[in-house]
Structure 1
C-alpha cells in the first residue's frame, strides 16, 4: 500500500492553503500518533514552514519571522526543499554541487515571467527506474526538535507532535520546466519507498502552472481545495488571465500522457465561513463542523451545484474528482466533496499563526511572545479544537 498523499492547491492567493495545511497536519499527527506526517512546503512564500517552525511573529518590524529564522538556522540548503528538488531533478542524493546550488529567477526559483534556460547538467532522459529511490526522510526535520535546538524551549509553552515532520522551504525552489518529468518519476518512487505509516502533505501557492506545482499534482493523489465563498475567487478556478486557473492546469497535465496527472479533488474546504453556532450541521448534503450563517449556506450550495452541473453535463470536471462518475445526485456530490472551516476568532487564529502553535495544541489563558500579548478564552478555544478534529476526520477518512 502506497503512503497517503495530499496536495493543497488553489490558484487564488490568500485562500487558506497554508493555514489549513498547517492546522490539519498537526491535528492529524495528534490524532494518529502511530502515523508519521510529512509536510513538504512547495510554496515560494514558505508560509507552512514559517508556521510549523516557530510562527509568523517578528521581534521587530523589519526582522525575519521567528519560524523562517528557525528554519534557516536549523537546516542547510541540502536538507531543505532546495536540496530535495535538486536531488529529484538530478538523481544526486549526496547533496548539491556548486552548480546545483546556483538558482535563478524570481525569489531564487522558477520565474513565470521569463523563458527558462536549460541547466547545463540536464539531459531530461534519465533512467530513473534504475536508481535507488530518494529517501524523503533525509530532507525532513521535526519542528519540535528545531524549536528545542534553536530556542532551547525558552519561549515555547506547548508541544508539537513528535510524529510531525516538515521539509522546509526558505523561498528558493530551483526546478526548471524541463527538469519536471524526471523529478516527478523520482518523487513518485520516493513516496512509494516510504513506510506505509507515513502520510505526505504538499503545500503549493497560487502559481498553479509552476514546475513545483506540476511536480506536486503529478506525485500526490488527493487534492484538497481550500475555497472562499467569494464568487470571483470561485470563478478564478476556471478562468484566470495569468494562465494559472487550477482546472485548466489540471486539464493540460492530464493531456501530457496517460497517467501523468495523479491528483484528483478529494475535498473542497470552504474557508473563513461566518458561523451561527458551534455545532456540527448538515446543510442539504454539505456536512460542516459548525453551523454557518444562512447566507453562507446558500452561497456554498450555489458553488457546489455549479460544479456539479458542469461535472455531470459536460464531463469537464468529472475527470478531476476522486470518485468520478460514481456520484449520482447533487446531494451526494455535496456530501462527498464539501466541508469547511469557519472564520475563527481573530485572537485565536492570530495567536496560532504568530506563535506557530496549531489550534489543536494551543493553550488557553494569557499568552505573550515578542510583540503579542492576548488571552485565549477556554470555551472559544475548545469549540474550535472540536471543529478542527471533525474536519480532520472528514478530510483524512
Structure 2
C-alpha cells in the first residue's frame, strides 16, 4: 500500500524543503526497487528547482521550461485544468503533469517522479477559495475542492510505493488540499520559541486543538474532513533541525526543544489518535545544520550521497566541504529516513 508523507510547518525557515529534498533522494537511493512521487505544492517551487539541477545547473530555467509546456507540466497546470471543473473530475492524463527529474539532473535517482511546483498557485488561490466556499444545495463544494490532489493521485496510486508532498509554509487552501491527500506529517522545528508556537499552531490548524473559541470549530479543517468521513493525516515525525546553529542540543536552546517534547507528550495522552507513535522518543529525530555541505548540495542539486569532500567552486566562490561535517549530515539524514 502506498505511503503518503507531507513535509510541512506553517512557520517558514525551518529547513522544510531542504530536508524534503535530501530525504526523498536518500529514500529513493536506499529503496531502488520502489517508485517515488514527489509533489511540490509550494509556489516558490524550490524543491523542483533542486530536483532539476539547482542554481549551478539551471534548475530554474528547466522548471520554467516545464511550466511552459502545453498542458503546463506542474501542479499549477493541473489546478488550471480543475478550475473550470472544480466539483467533477474532468478527463485528464496524469503523465501530462509529471516530470522525471533524472532526465534533467543525473544526480537524482531514476525512481523519483516529480509534479513540479508553480508560482501560479498564488494567483489561483483566490479562485480556489471562492469555489470551495460556494453554497450548493445537496453537495459539498469544499470537500470536492479539497479532493483535487486525491483525484490526481487516485488513477496512478498503484504505480508508486511512496508519495511525498512538499507543502508551503502556510495554511492556504492549496496546502490543505495537500494535507488532505497525505497520511503522515513530517514537521521540522528549530530550537527557538517561534518554533514552539508554530508547532502548537500546527496542531490547532490541522486538528482543531486549543482553538481560542468554539465559534471556530465548525469551520475547522479537522471538523470539515471528519464530517465528510475522511481521515486526518497523523503526525509521524518531528525533526529538530539545525541544532549546530544553536551550539548543539545540549545548549540553553535545549530547553525549547524539551518544551516541545513536553507539549507532544501531553498530547499523546489526550489525543493519541493524531500520532503514529506512542512513545515520544520514537517521534523525534535530530538534524545538524548542513552548513557548507548543504550550500554545495543545493547549489548543484545533489543528494548528500554525491557531495564530494574538499574544495569546490559554488557560484564563483571557493568553498570547502569537510569530511566530518558531511559524515555527520549523512548519519543524521539516514536516521530520519529510516523512520519513513
Scaled by the length of structure 2, what TM-score is found? 0.81
- CA–CA distance in structure 1, aligned partners of residues 255 and 206 of structure 2: 29
Tell whether 2:164 aligns with 1:201: yes
SS of 2:47's equivalent in the other structure is: helix
Cα 1:336–1:390 change in 2 (3 A) is closer
* CA shift for structure 1 position 190: 3.7
Residue number among 112, 125, 128 corresponding to 1:164 in the alignment: 112
CA contact (8 A) 1:42 1:203 kept: yes
2:80 is matched with which residue?
Answer: 86
The 5-angstrom pairing of residues 221-240 of structure 1 reads 221-239=183-201
1:269 is matched with which residue?
Answer: 239
SS of 1:387's equivalent in the other structure is: helix
- CA–CA distance in structure 1, aligned partners of residues 289 and 232 of structure 2: 31
Cα 1:44–1:74 change in 2 (3 A) is closer
- CA–CA distance in structure 1, aligned partners of residues 77 and 10 of structure 2: 25
CA contact (8 A) 1:266 1:321 kept: yes
1:366 is matched with which residue?
Answer: 311
Cα 1:310–1:379 change in 2 (3 A) is closer
RMSD in angstroms over aligned alpha carbons? 2.8
**Where does the alignment leave 5 or more consecutive residues of structure 2 unmatched?**
133-141, 209-219
- CA–CA distance in structure 2, aligned partners of residues 267 and 136 of structure 1: 29
- CA–CA distance in structure 1, aligned partners of residues 102 and 260 of structure 2: 39
Which shows bigger deviation, 264-273 or 298-307?
298-307
Cα 1:28–1:196 change in 2 (3 A) is same
SS of 2:282's equivalent in the other structure is: helix
CA contact (8 A) 2:45 2:119 kept: yes
2:327 is matched with which residue?
Answer: 382
SS of 1:255's equivalent in the other structure is: helix
* CA shift for structure 1 position 184: 3.5
The 5-angstrom pairing of residues 180-191 of structure 1 reads 181-191=143-153
- CA–CA distance in structure 2, aligned partners of residues 262 and 359 of structure 1: 32
2:64 is matched with which residue?
Answer: 72
- CA–CA distance in structure 2, aligned partners of residues 318 and 27 of structure 1: 30
| Matched length | 310
SS of 1:238's equivalent in the other structure is: helix
Which shows bigger deviation, 28-37 or 371-380?
371-380
Cα 1:135–1:7 change in 2 (3 A) is farther
Cα 1:255–1:125 change in 2 (3 A) is same
The 5-angstrom pairing of residues 1-397 of structure 1 reads 1=1, 3-57=2-56, 66-75=58-67, 76=69, 78-87=72-81, 89=82, 121=84, 125-126=87-88, 128=89, 136-147=94-105, 159-173=107-121, 174-175=124-125, 176-177=128-129, 178-179=131-132, 181-193=143-155, 194-195=157-158, 197-208=160-171, 210-239=172-201, 245=202, 247-251=204-208, 252-256=220-224, 257-260=227-230, 262-274=232-244, 292-312=249-269, 315=270, 317-323=271-277, 327=278, 332=279, 334-344=280-290, 346-394=291-339, 396=340
* CA shift for structure 1 position 297: 4.4
Cα 1:381–1:138 change in 2 (3 A) is same
CA contact (8 A) 2:189 2:199 kept: no
Scaled by the length of structure 1, what TM-score is found? 0.70
